[in-house]
């Protein structure tokens, strides 16, 4: 996949292009249907498949007060779009100026740089100033300018609409099994392992790898999760606590949200190294314990339950592990 940061970066005007446009936050099953449609049409007609997206997310620019949290990092979004076999990904910097661009002007710019054979969009897609570039507008533009427009309808899984909004809701409620059904994969957090208080090993007997969640990150419901950790080309089971570690709140004062993972059968020093953590199941809420001994006993029980869940879902976990190496 070729990646460009603007239409002007394209070295030549792609011909016979099948194009989709969207935010693609999370690259969920609905987005994957769009990509499949574009890739399939391009293949059948000896054309090129193109996805156009934006960075940052438009709502972070036009409605910053909403505090939108993203399902996937930009890096992860690019990885997932590449896995969909898209030929060209164009990432447009989203600014207030772009937000104020009339829909007709945006289409003019697109056609100046890309010979569009067909535009494939989702059922609710709209763009341009005041979201005037809706589907009836696009179809009329297509009739006037000689490109086809096709619409991928809403997709439901077990009665749930597959949408970024629904997935965000489920993540914040800790409903990870339902999240997986809509994403087509486990929800993942990733980052560089940071130095913590080192209580996990010394005081409690369960060392942890610590990730700091930034304020703009979509934070799952606070509590304990069964996890799958990818590091160094291998997958490991684990348990993760997300929250403020209330047992030690009086000693530590106000702390940022942390994701602390105890990795099974693992004893490597990975400070400063990147890891990926898939959240499989929510086990329990975070709560305050009387001290390290009571906390250690509960963690031991969490580990017992987590290993049972991992054993019962062994095949599913194995397939997910193989898939994570491709991400």
Catalytic residue numbers, as ranges = 260
Whether the Cβ atoms of residue 51 and residue 89 lie closer than 8 Å to each other = yes
Under 8 Å CB-to-CB from 220, ≥6 apart: which residues? 171, 172, 174, 176, 187, 189, 242, 279, 282
User: Pick from 258, 196, 259, 264: which is nearest to 236 by CA?
Assistant: 264
Burial (CB count within 10 angstroms: exposed 0-12, middle 13-18, buried 19+), residue 298 = middle
Distances in Å between the alpha carbon of 300 and those of 200, 217, 243, 306?
12, 29, 19, 10
Q: CA torsion 142→145→146→152, rounded to 10°?
A: -20
The Cβ of residue 284 has, within 10 Å, a number of other Cβ atoms equal to 14
């Amino acid at each position: 996949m070729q990646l460009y940061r603007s239409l002007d970066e394209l070295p030549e005007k792609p011909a016979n292009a099948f194009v989709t446009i969207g935010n693609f936050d999370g690259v969920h099953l609905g987005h994957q249907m769009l990509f499949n449609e574009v890739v399939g049409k391009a293949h059948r007609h000896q054309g090129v498949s193109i996805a156009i997206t934006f960075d940052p997310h438009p709502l972070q620019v036009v409605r910053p007060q909403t505090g939108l949290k993203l399902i996937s990092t930009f890096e992860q979004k690019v990885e997932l779009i590449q896995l969909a076999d898209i030929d060209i990904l164009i990432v447009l910097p989203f600014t207030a100026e772009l937000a104020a661009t009339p829909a007709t002007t945006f289409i003019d710019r697109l056609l100046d740089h890309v010979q569009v054979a067909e535009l494939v969009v989702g059922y609710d897609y709209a763009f341009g100033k005041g979201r005037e570039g809706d589907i009836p507008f696009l179809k009329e533009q297509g009739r006037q300018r000689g490109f086809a427009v096709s619409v991928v309808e809403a997709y439901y899984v077990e009665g749930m609409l597959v949408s970024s909004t629904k997935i965000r809701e489920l993540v914040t409620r800790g409903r990870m099994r339902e999240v997986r059904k809509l994403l087509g994969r486990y929800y993942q957090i990733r980052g560089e392992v940071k130095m913590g208080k080192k209580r996990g090993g010394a005081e409690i007997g369960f060392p942890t790898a610590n990730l700091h969640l930034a304020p703009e990150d979509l934070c799952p419901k606070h509590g304990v999760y069964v996890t799958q950790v990818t590091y160094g080309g291998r997958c490991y089971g684990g348990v993760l606590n997300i929250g403020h570690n209330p047992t030690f709140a009086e000693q530590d004062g106000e702390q940022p949200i942390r994701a602390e993972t105890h990795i099974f059968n693992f004893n490597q020093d990975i400070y400063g190294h990147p890891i990926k953590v898939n959240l499989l199941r929510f086990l329990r809420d975070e709560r305050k314990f009387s001290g390290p001994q009571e906390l250690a006993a509960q963690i031991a029980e969490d580990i017992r339950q987590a290993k049972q869940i991992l054993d019962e879902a062994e095949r599913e976990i194995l397939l997910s592990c193989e898939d994570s190496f491709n991400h």
